[in-house]
Structure formats: structure tokens, C-alpha cells
Structure 1
Amino acid sequence: MQITDYVNTLGLDLKQRYGEKVHKLTLHGNFSCPNRDGTLGRGGCTFCNVAAFADESQAHQSIQSQLALRAQEVSHKAKKYLAYFQAYTTTYAEIEQLSHLYKQATEANNIVGICVGTRPDCVSDEVLNLLSSYLFQGYEVWLELGLQSANDKTLKRINRGHGFNEYHQICIKARALGIKVCTHLILGLPKEDDLDYQQTLEKVIDTGTDGLKLHPLHVVRGATMEKSWRAGRLCTLSLEEYSQAAVSLIRHTPMDIVFHRISATAKADELLSPLWCEKRWPVQNRMGKLMSILGGQESAL
């Protein structure tokens, strides 16, 4: 049995709609973040070190060059692509700069859509209007919002710099314009448990979302959390703990919500804990076995 037997994945959804496999190509637009540059704070969210997942060497390469390289790497897998602005806060710039970068991406060969990863407090009406303009040009548009938790106490604890309300408002505005929203959630944040995860999921579903990304908390080098972890004040989830928690959320998620990711990895040279996050297959295999017993998303139960 495959994970798509239990989960409505983005890959499956895209293949059904486009008639062939569509691959995400990650881009680095050399953005910053208001929680790093002093606008909101310094040091970023306590869990954050972008180098743990992004290739910083791409930062000064042109969008066209990055797309060409990424497409070449996956040319044996797909011929159509989504351009994914991933690193940092990819709506955090003047609207003219955003328009220039997004236009370069959408005009590249075989691009069928654009995905932008950002914070809920960095999406202005101008940005939403710009993104919605690509819908009228026939492109697919995903706004990936880093929420992490719907618990405002947790968001303050991890120095997120915004609350659930900012997410709620932007999510409603974006979807009203036809922009698809993918919500990022982290399991294993300090002082959170299964009840917190379930309450976050319920609030996200009640608000309305089109996609979800689930992510185990990573402790990576250079993040503020590294100090707490080394001092023994922070524990991360075991593979089994994460698998059970993530499967529980998946089973309570309506089938029309697409999962862009059900777990995540970090670069081995940056990752401190949990070490099982170096590889993707052990956790996916365990989650698959659990779902074969318990069932997958709601309509598949």
C-alpha cells in the first residue's frame, strides 16, 4: 500500500488535475524576514535556521538560472513545475520587486503555477492582488502560511511575532480571491501536546484551508532553541511519537484538504535532534503502517 491510499497528497492532486506529474522547484529570492531584520525582532523564531533546509548559495542566482537547474535535476520525474519561493519570508519586499521576481518565475518554461512561503503578518492587500493576477493568467497560485500553532501562548513562546488572528484574517482574504492556502504546522513545540495539535487543526479547518504541511520540530545548529536543547530543557519527539500524532491529525482532516507534506527532514550537518529526521522514509513507512491499520483522511475511514 502507498501513502496516497490514505492521504490526499499534493502530488496525487496535481497529477489528477494536470494528467501528468508536476514537481515543485524550490527557489531562493534573497528575501529577509521582519523577525530577523529588527522590524519585529532579531534572531527570528526560536526554531529557525534557514540554512538547515535551504541552499543559501542560490541566493544571488537569477530566478531563471535556479529554475533551469532545478528542472534539470528532476527532468526524469516531471516536465511541468510549480515555482516555489521557499526561503525566508517571500512576500516581504516592495511590491515592484515581488512582481519582478514572480514574473520571472511564471514566464519560465513549463511553469504551471507559483507557491510563495510567508508569514501571515507579511501579506498585504497589494500582495494578494498581485498573486490573484496570476490566476487570471491561468496559473495555479498557492499562498503557504507559516502558522505552526493556533495557540497564541505557544506563538509568543517561540518568538513568532504574530498571533492566530493574523493568520485567520489573511487566510479568509486570500481564499476569497481564489488563492489557495497551504498551512504549515509544527508538532513538538515546547509545552504542546496532542490536545494542542488537535485544537490547532480544528481552528485551521474551521477557518478554511486548501492544504496542510506537517513538520516535526527540529533543533538545528544556530537556532535559539539549540541552547535550551543542550541544557536539557527541551526534548524533541521520537519517531513513534511523531508518527502517532501526525496520523491522528491526518485521520481528522477532510479529504478535500491536500497534504503538501506529512513530515520533513533537515540537513544532516545542521540537525541536532531528532536524528531520525535525517531521512524521510523511516517515518513515512511507520505512518503508512499506522494508517493501514487505522485509516487515513476522513472520507477514507
Structure 2
Amino acid sequence: MGLDSYVNTFGSVCKQRYGERIRKLTIDAKFTCPNRDGTLGKGGCTYCNVASFSHEHKTELSIQAQLNQGRERLSTKPSKYIAYFQAYTSTYDEYLVLKQKYDEAIRDTDIVGLCVGTRPDCVPEEVINLLVDYQQQGIDVWLELGLQTANNQTLKKINRGHDFEVYADTVKRARAKGIKVCTHLILGLPGEGHEDYLTTLDKVLGVGVDGLKLHPLHIVEGSTMAKAWRNGKMDLLKIEDYAFSVGELIRRTPKNIIFHRVTAYAKKPMLLGPDWCAFRWDGLVAIVDDLKAKGEQGSNLAEQKS
């Protein structure tokens, strides 16, 4: 049995809603980040690859051309897609610029959803209202917020430039207007362990959330963390520890919350470690094995928070 047998996944939810598996088409709309352009800082988060800052956008293609290219790359082509603004901080621009880019992304009739990835400190009320407008037009809207951890000390250590309270405020404002929020969490950040992941989940559930994305920490070339790793100052997350923690997070999460992702991988030579993160399926298989062995039923705490 696969992950869908144990977890309320984004893929299975979309299949139920649209009658088929639909795919996200990723877009690089040439946004930047306040933690890169000098507004907050220029070093970026310590896990980010800063070596590419001067040539960070890998395409000159228009949004429409990127969507077409994404369709062409798929071996199995669904009839519906989601436009996914994934690169950098996709709400970090003037209102009219954002509207022009989002409008272009949803112009085609086969685009039924809009996912916007961003930082929690870059979502002013006018952006939330813009997303509400798209939702009222029948577009399925998701606001994806990179939180990574609810521990303010860790957030400061990794140079995020915001705290948990800013995240909580943004989530409450967005969800109050009917916008679904998917929160990104990283397991394996320096100084954190299993109990810290559980604490972060509890705080996220306490604020309210509609979806989760879980990632193992990758050490990538060009990052501040890469220097620490080379100096022997960082421990890498083991696959069995990651699978154990993800299994516990899933079991503590109410069934109505959608998991958009439970692991991630990166390619060498950019990836320095952990080595298992170079393989797409290894982490997923380990997580499914944990769920098979221990079950997927939520705890009483999870049921109370649903």
C-alpha cells in the first residue's frame, strides 16, 4: 500500500474533487526575497544556496511558456492543472505586478488552481484580498507559508528574519477570509530533535492550518550550513529518524488536514547530505514502512484539535 492508504494526501484530495489526478505546473516569476535583496538581509536563510544569488533565475521564459513547457514534460497529461508560484517569495512585489502575473498564470481554462509560495512576513492584506478574488472566480487557491519551525530561537539561528508570531498573524488573517494555508516545516534543523518537531506541530495546529509540507533538512552547496557541515559542526538527519518523526507527526495530525508532501529530495552535486536525500523514493518508502508498522491513527490530542 502507498502513502494514500495512510495519509490524507493532496493528490488523493484533488482526485476526489476533480475525478482525476491533477498536476502542479511550477512557475519562476522572477521574484526575489527580502532576506536576499537587503530589506532584511543579503545572506538569506542559512540552509539556502547563496552562491546563485547573482543569477538565481534559471529561465527567461514567460509564465505562459513555462506552463506550456511543464505540460509538455509530463508523460501522462491530465486535463486540469494547478499553477504553482514556487520560486522565492511569490507575494513580494507591487500589487499590480502580482495581479498581472497571477492573471497570466490562470488564463488558460485547464488551470483550476493557484498555489502561491511565500514568507509569512510578506503577505499584506491587499494580497490576501487578491487571492480571495481569485477564489471567488472559482479558482482553488492555496497560500503556502514557509515557517520551517515554531521555535523562535531556531528561526533566529537560521536567519529567517521573522518569528512565529508573525506567521500566526498571517495564518489567522488568511483563513479568516477563507484562504487555505499550507505550512512548510523542516525536520533536522540545527539544535532540534524529535520533541521539537512535535512542539512545532502542536503550535501550528493550535493556530489552525489546512495543509502541511514536511521536508528533511538538505545541506546544499553554497549555503552557510555547508560551511558548518564541512567543519564538522552539523549532524545529518538519518533516514530512520526522519521516517520515525514523520510517522509521529502524521499520527498527531487531524485527518482533515491535507499533506501536500512528506519528504523531498535534491540532486548531487548540489546536495552535500544526507546522501539518502538524493533519491526520490527512499524517504517515502521509509515513511510508509513506519505507518505500516505502527498505524496511522491520530492521537487523542489530534482528535481534539480537529
| Normalised-by-shorter TM-score class | over 0.9
Report the AA paired with residue 58 of structure 2. Answer: S
Matched with 1:149 is 149
Q: Residue 120 of structure 1 aligns to a residue in which SS? A: coil
Q: What SS class does the counterpart of residue 298 from structure 1 fall into?
A: coil
**Which string of whole-angstrom CA distances, capped at 9 and with x for unpartnered residues, describes residues 139-170 of structure 1?**
00000000000000000000000000011001
Report deviation, 1:79.
2.0
Matched, 1:114 2:123: no
User: Is the Cα–Cα contact under 8 Å of residues 147 and 184 in structure 1 kept in the other structure?
Assistant: yes
Does the CA contact (< 8 Å) of 2:51 and 2:223 recur in 1?
no
Q: 1:297 to 1:156 in 2, by over 3 A?
A: farther
Aligned to 2:181: 181
State the Cα distance separating 1:108 from its structure 2 match. 2.2
Indicate if the aligned counterparts of 1:221 and 1:272 stay in contact, CA closer than 8 A: yes
Instruction: Calculate the TM-score normalised by the size of structure 2.
Output: 0.94
Structure 1 residue 206 corresponds to structure 2 residue 206: yes
Answer yes or no: is 1:268 the counterpart of 2:249.
Answer: no
2:296, 2:48 → 1: CA distance? Answer: 30
C-alpha displacement at 1:269, in angstroms? 2.2
How far apart in 2 are the matches of 1:186 and 1:51?
Answer: 21
**C-alpha spacing 1:125/1:241, structure 2 compared with 1 (3 Å):** same
Q: Which amino acid aligns with 1:171?
A: V
Matches within 5 A, 1:109-258: 109-258=109-258
Distance across 2 between alignment mates of 1:297 and 1:200? 20
Q: For residues 7 and 77 of structure 1, do their structure 2 counterparts lie closer, same or farther at Cα, with a shift above 3 Å needed?
A: farther
Tell me the CA shift for residue 57 of structure 1.
2.2
Mapped contact 2:4–2:12 kept (Cα < 8 A): yes
Please say which of residues 151-160 and 70-79 is displaced more in the overlay: 70-79
Q: Secondary structure at the match of 2:45?
A: coil
Partner residue of 1:5? Answer: 5
- CA distance in structure 1 between the partners assigned to 2:50 and 2:225 by the alignment: 14
- Cα deviation, residue 109, structure 1: 3.9
Secondary structure, aligned partner of 2:83 = strand
Return 5+ residue gaps in structure 1 as ranges: none
CA deviations over 1:254-291 (Å, ceiling 9, x no partner): 11000000000112221001011111211111111110
Residues 253 and 297 in structure 1, CA contact (< 8 A), matched pair in contact too: no
Aligned to 1:19: 19
Given that 1:21 and 1:79 are in contact with CA atoms closer than 8 Å, whether structure 2 keeps it comes out as no
Relative to structure 1, the CA distance from residue 51 to residue 23 in structure 2 (aligned partners, 3 Å threshold; closer, same or farther) is farther
Instruction: Report how far residue 297 of structure 1 moved.
Output: 5.0
Which residue identity is paired with 1:104? E
- The match for 1:90 is 90
Q: Residue 288 of structure 1 aligns with which residue? A: 288
C-alpha deviations, 1:108-151, integer Å up to 9, x for none?
A: 24100100100000000011011110011000000000000000
CA contact 2:27–2:84 (8 Å) conserved in 1: yes
- 2:47–2:225 Cα contact (<8 Å) kept: yes
Q: Give the residue type in structure 1 aligned to 2:241.
A: E
Kept in 1: contact 2:71–2:77 (CA 8 A): no
How far, CA to CA, are the matches of 2:227 and 2:186 in structure 1?
A: 19
Instruction: For residue 205 of structure 1, report the CA deviation from its aligned partner.
Output: 0.6
Identical amino acids, percent of aligned pairs? 54
Aligned residues of 1:190 and 1:234 also touching (Cα < 8 A): yes
Is this contact kept in 2: 1:189–1:217, CA < 8 A?
yes
Q: Deviations over 1:67-89 (max 9, x none)?
A: 01101222614221110000110
How far 1:50 moved relative to its partner? 7.9
Partners of 1:90 and 1:118 within 8 A in 2: yes
Mapped partners of 1:255, 1:105: distance in 2: 31
Q: d(CA) in 2 for partners of 1:194 and 1:157? A: 18
Task: Specify whether residues 297 and 8 from structure 1 end up closer, same or farther in structure 2 by C-alpha distance, changes over 3 A only.
Answer: farther
> Is the 1:81–1:111 contact (alpha carbons within 8 Å) kept by the matching residues of 2?
yes
Partner of 1:57: 58
Count of matched residue positions in the alignment of Structure 1 and Structure 2: 298
SS of aligned partner of 2:58:
helix
Gaps of 5+ in 2: none
